[in-house]
Amino acid sequence: MLAFRFHKGTPKELIFKVMELLRGGAEHIAFYNDEFYIPYFLKLGMPLEVAREYGLSGCMRWDLPGKPMGGRILGGMVALPRCLELALNQGIDKFSGKQVGAKTPDPITFTSIEDVIQAYLEQARFFMEKLVTIYNITDVLDEEYTPQPFLSALQDGCIEHGQDCRKYKFFPKTIIQPVGQVTVANSLAAMKKLVFEGKKVSMAELLEALKSNWEGKEELRQKFINDAPKFGNDDDYVDLLAREVIQRTTQVVGSFRNIYGGHFLEDGTGGSSYYAGSIFTGATPDGRGDHDMFNDGTISPAIGTDKKGLTAVLKSVGKVDHLKSFNHLFNQKFMPQYLGKDCEDVFAAYMRTWSDLGIHHIQFNVVDKQMLLDAQQHPEKYPFFTIRVAGYCAYYVDLSKGIQDQIIARTEQSFA
């Protein structure tokens, strides 16, 4: 992966050079916004000179080169739509009938979208607590049984203090990676509009449809798909709801501490766990069915719902307060012809807008849909064809068909 640090002073000529690489198939390039990161690190209490030297590791996790961080870099993943599903079923798994989550109130008694959000946050807190406990125990064992003398020798202060990097810490952090944020936001918006405000559908009717995976309820499912706003179209109704629920979820994550006294932090990569998490999650009120895919990344619109063009998508993503949440992963897909030399000035302006909105990250699939379909049907012809999935690239032919289909279905943006 190649990380490109972008800021308001980035020369236009350099942007053109990166466009040339993207046109040539260099999908391993990801863009990171200094206009987000520097204020973010300052908010965490880091000195400016340290903040300016940040780096990226793994998929898109931030690091401070040479600074001992302590704790686990990755503390686990949480499927947020699963938390919403359980909130609408009092913590009972509809597939097994077992009580797997917190016993939240009967959703029939909910009178507002705030009641739904409270139940969802309680489920999220329930699972976060279990995850935090597991990883804090793991950190204790790691510190005792797996000292890291070589790594410690490369970290500032460890030799001077005679301590392993697990014990001498500049900034202790443990990362939690939730996925499915936009799926949750779209679901809440649909419930708010159709159940609580419009009174067009009763809660009982919705719960029965979700329980049966919308079977025999296709007309109702289409209502929840089409009659409620979706994130990615510059619509405040859903965008501001997304901002609120993402912020409040972040507060739940940050309420837990690791063994070093540091807060747990959210991280925006999630890899392809949006795919894995969707497999064990039932139907949700955005019209999604049992086991259907969540939105990719953490802030990308759900497949097929961003219908008003790339600027509307940017404006929706920009409304989420990244400084009050975390470093979101944002995928976009362009047809190759829209990154030609005649589009250079437009693309440069697009990237300036992305940066000015304070959006943390963006990355691109720049590939023709027919090529993706052909590679899926004839993998022997494309043994070295790489594609951007989430925070990482992979050989396309090595991906499961489900992830291939999801990449194919991503909205093809243009400057037209």
- For residues 324 and 293, the answer to whether their CB atoms sit within 8 Å is no
Phi and psi for 190 in degrees, rounded to 5? -65, -40
In order, the DSSP letters of 27-77 are: TTEEEEEHHHHHHHHHHTT--HHHHTT-EEETTTEEE-TT----S-S---E
The answer as to whether 294 is a domain residue is yes
- pLDDT at position 125 over 70: yes
> Could you give the number of structural domains in the chain?
1
List the domain range (segments joined by +) for residue 196: 73-308
The answer as to whether 259 is a domain residue is yes
Nearest-angstrom CA–CA distance, 416 and 414: 5
User: pLDDT by residue (tens digit) across 152-174?
Assistant: 999 999 999 998 888 887 877 78
pTM score = 0.93
The answer as to whether 262 is a domain residue is yes
Give the residue among 284, 381, 362 at the shortest CA–CA distance from 15: 362
In order, the DSSP letters of 348-413 are: HHHHHHHHHTT--EEEEEE--HHHHHHHHH-GGG-TT-EEE-SSSEEEGGGS-HHHHHHHHHS-EE
The pLDDT of residue 172 is: 76
The DSSP bridge pattern shows strands 55-57 and 61-63 to be antiparallel
Give the residue among 304, 303, 278 at the shortest CA–CA distance from 291: 278
The pLDDT of residue 73 is: 57
Maximum CA pair distance of the chain? 69
The pLDDT of residue 277 is: 85
User: pLDDT by residue (tens digit) across 268-307?
Assistant: 666 667 878 889 999 999 999 999 999 988 899 999 999 9
- pLDDT at position 328 over 90: no
The answer as to whether 31 is a domain residue is no
Q: How many CA atoms lie within 13 A of 131 on its CB side?
A: 23
The answer as to whether 180 is a domain residue is yes
Highest mean pLDDT among 65-69, 98-102, 155-159, 370-374: 98-102
User: pLDDT by residue (tens digit) across 219-264?
Assistant: 999 999 999 999 999 999 999 999 999 999 999 999 999 888 888 8
Q: Which two tokens stand for residue 210?
A: 């979700």
Q: Which two tokens stand for residue 416?
A: 């037209």
The answer as to whether 266 is a domain residue is yes
- pLDDT at position 71 over 80: no
Least confident of 79-88, 130-139, 192-201, 232-241: 130-139
Q: How many other β-carbons are positioned within 10 Å of the β-carbon of residue 95? A: 12
The pLDDT of residue 334 is: 85
Nearest-angstrom CA–CA distance, 63 and 51: 10
The pLDDT of residue 130 is: 94
Nearest-angstrom CA–CA distance, 365 and 212: 36
The answer as to whether 118 is a domain residue is yes
Give the residue among 389, 386, 381, 384 at the shortest CA–CA distance from 406: 389
Per 3-state DSSP, the chain is made up of helix, strand and coil in percentages (nearest 5) of: 45, 10, 40
Nearest-angstrom CA–CA distance, 48 and 54: 10
- pLDDT at position 199 over 90: yes
Average pLDDT for 19-44: 88
Q: Which two tokens stand for residue 329?
A: 């992963």
The answer as to whether 185 is a domain residue is yes
Q: How many CA atoms lie within 13 A of 254 on its CB side?
A: 12
